[in-house]
Structure 1
Amino acid sequence: MLSNSNFIRQSLELHLFFARIMKEHSFFLQIGFVQRDSNLMVKADMFRAEFDRLLVDVISLSNGVVSASVLESGEVVTPFTLKAEMASSYLTGVNIPTSLTRAEQELRPLDLSKVIDNHMLEERVVMINNRAMDLVKALAEFKTMLLSNVLNCRLFTNNYPLLIDHILREAKFYYNLIQKLQNREEVVLEREAYVEEVFWNEIMAEHSKFIRGLLDPTENDLINIANDFGNEFTELEAQSKEAMDKTIPISKVTNDSLKATIEISKFKAEATKGLIECKIKSIIMPLLGDHTLREANHYLRLLKIFEKGSMY
């Protein structure tokens, strides 16, 4: 059974990463609708605002409570997040609260005295977890409805059907992780490695394919690089599934995935910088670049844990 201190820390670390991801999903949906569907814009904006409020409360509890490895990983914020938000807000007219990013930049790492036997903090985290589950479930239902309508030609959006399916899977994944924490389930490292590597290798492959498809047709070099990453991570996803079936050792897949994720993180960092500085021709919102970079950084931290063989 998960200890109280680990329950508190892991819950807040999870929300610092995923609540921001969910609020940005809502933003990407919001700006993708056409004028006819202004009601859906409003609905997506409401979800974005709800996740902003959730993140405010998570940040307020996180100072001195989350680990340095998470804060330093680039999965909570990157050196580009603030500028990406400002540029994306300017381009869309959507008010993105950059104060949250500034607050996250100031978070201090774990001080054990703040979490050991802190029953009041534990109760607040339980409430935040329940609130997050309700919110993520509602957002997943919204995404499911959108995907169904897009596939049945009842709705047009500038977001690929695969992107909507992609962000729906991420919402479901987040929900399941919160549920495990609420049940105080201990992490079994090897089992976790199989599940996470199958999931995130697929996510990295799809990121690469989205980037490829959103670049201007004249950006041949970047298109080819993105395409190569897409093929590489599709192969790694297949290998992860083989490892799950015990066909090949998970350690080999972890090592290969680590090398590939280091490289795609560098690529996404350069691309995000290029988008912010208007040096790349594309229809990629700067915040989408930073969003995919944070996901790569999150996966990179997990892979390093799996390689080392210890969660702590």
Structure 2
Amino acid sequence: MPDAFVTRSIDEIRFWSRIMKEHSLFLRLGFRCEDTQLINEAQYFYKVFEGIEQQSHAYGLDTDPSTIKQFNKEVHAAVSHIWVFKRKLLGLILSCQLPGQNNFPLLVDHVSREAYYFRNRLEELNQGKLEPLQDAIIDENVFFLRIMADHAKFIGHLLDPSERKLVDQAREFSHDFDQLLFQAKDLDSMRPQSQTKPLLDQFLDQNRVSVKSLRDFKQTARDLIYQCKVKSIIHPLLADHVFREAERFLEIIDMFEGALTAKREPSIHL
């Protein structure tokens, strides 16, 4: 039977290394021509995470745990460096040192939060720190609900203003996920009283319905962009990128619902 630590580590690295690689591309595309140092740094990180992604696929689920533990450490170092790069970039943008570049400050903050999340996940895996199921459910949902709300905001701003129906839909999703995030933060502040199984079941069910709806919207938008049937400045890869993150959130909700139903904690939480 595959080792749970190995399985979880490989899955996390395969998913998030691709995300980090694509972040590097999206940031680079938003720089001005004269931002050569930033362009080169972004390209460097693209190559780093492309290599990590390829290496992760070379490992099988029967790989020795000690090998994966060392791999996690190496990936952790790379993620720490790209996090620093993203925070540096955010500082430059907020201090108006890059006028005319095309990366929204919220987008840069968004991608840095994902790097921080990935880095923490690797630390938890290597240290064997298992958060109690009830805490993990709330924390993961607070993180991903904010990610989904951000996505809706980005989509709304990157669609052409003439795409009124799609823009309105994106704004509605932004509002809906802001409200879900507020609810999740309320549950967070009510711990441990809010961690009863009925409340968490309802919490996950409600989020599942909303995430599925947003996932389907993203899928439609992605397909329209690929078919050149919608006016926008959204890179086709970005459209697929946000779709995959919604799919990831649904997988996490499935895992938590399964754990609650079985009345046991997963051996390795997400």
Same fold (TM over 0.5): yes
Rounded to whole Å, the distance in 2 between the matches of 1:297 and 1:234 is: 19
SS of 1:36 mapped into structure 2:
coil
1:203 is the counterpart of 2:147: yes
Q: Residue by residue, what CA displacement relative to the aligned partner does 1:68-90 show, whole Å, maximum 9, x if unpaired?
A: xxxxxxxxxxxxxxxxxxxxxxx
Rounded to whole Å, the distance in 2 between the matches of 1:123 and 1:181 is: 12
Rounded to whole Å, the distance in 2 between the matches of 1:230 and 1:250 is: 23
Number of residue-to-residue matches in the alignment: 255
* Gapped regions of structure 1 (runs ≥ 5): 66-113
Equivalent of 1:143 in 62, 86, 104: 86
1:295 is the counterpart of 2:239: no
Rounded to whole Å, the distance in 1 between the matches of 2:83 and 2:28 is: 15
1:25 is the counterpart of 2:35: no
Rounded to whole Å, the distance in 1 between the matches of 2:105 and 2:131 is: 33
Give 1:89's aligned residue: none
Give 1:254's aligned residue: 204
Rounded to whole Å, the distance in 2 between the matches of 1:140 and 1:153 is: 20
1:186 is the counterpart of 2:184: no
Give 2:49's aligned residue: 51
Rounded to whole Å, the distance in 1 between the matches of 2:2 and 2:247 is: 27
Give 2:74's aligned residue: 131
Rounded to whole Å, the distance in 2 between the matches of 1:262 and 1:31 is: 30
Give 1:270's aligned residue: 220
Equivalent AA in structure 2 for residue 219 of structure 1: E
Once the two structures are superposed, the pairs formed by residues 1-312 of structure 1 within 5 Å of their partners are 5-62=3-60, 65=61, 114=62, 121-156=64-99, 157-246=101-190, 249-308=199-258, 309=260, 311=266
Moved more, 163-172 or 239-248: 239-248
Q: TM-score, normalised by structure 1?
A: 0.79
Shift of 1:301: 0.6
Aligned 8 A contact 1:251 1:307 in 2:
yes
SS of 2:129 mapped into structure 1:
coil
Rounded to whole Å, the distance in 2 between the matches of 1:127 and 1:228 is: 44
SS of 2:136 mapped into structure 1:
helix
Shift of 1:159: 1.1
Shift of 1:4: 8.5
SS of 1:13 mapped into structure 2:
helix
Equivalent AA in structure 2 for residue 272 of structure 1: R
Equivalent AA in structure 2 for residue 293 of structure 1: F
Q: Residue by residue, what CA displacement relative to the aligned partner does 1:93-122 show, whole Å, maximum 9, x if unpaired?
A: xxxxxxxxxxxxxxxxxxxxx3xxx5xx21
Q: What fraction of aligned residue pairs are identical, expressed as a percent?
A: 33
Aligned 8 A contact 1:8 1:122 in 2:
yes
SS of 2:30 mapped into structure 1:
coil
Shift of 1:253: 2.0
Q: Residue by residue, what CA displacement relative to the aligned partner does 1:227-284 show, whole Å, maximum 9, x if unpaired?
A: 1111111000011111112375333221111000111111111111111111110000
Q: Residue by residue, what CA displacement relative to the aligned partner does 1:128-168 show, whole Å, maximum 9, x if unpaired?
A: 10111110100010011100010000114211000000001
Shift of 1:200: 0.4
Rounded to whole Å, the distance in 2 between the matches of 1:183 and 1:211 is: 37
SS of 1:35 mapped into structure 2:
coil
Aligned 8 A contact 1:254 1:307 in 2:
yes
Shift of 1:39: 1.6
Rounded to whole Å, the distance in 1 between the matches of 2:56 and 2:147 is: 25
Rounded to whole Å, the distance in 2 between the matches of 1:123 and 1:278 is: 47
Give 1:72's aligned residue: none
* Gapped regions of structure 2 (runs ≥ 5): none
SS of 2:222 mapped into structure 1:
helix
Shift of 1:187: 4.5
Rounded to whole Å, the distance in 1 between the matches of 2:239 and 2:222 is: 5
Aligned 8 A contact 1:11 1:178 in 2:
yes
RMSD across aligned positions (CA): 1.6
Q: TM-score, normalised by structure 2?
A: 0.91
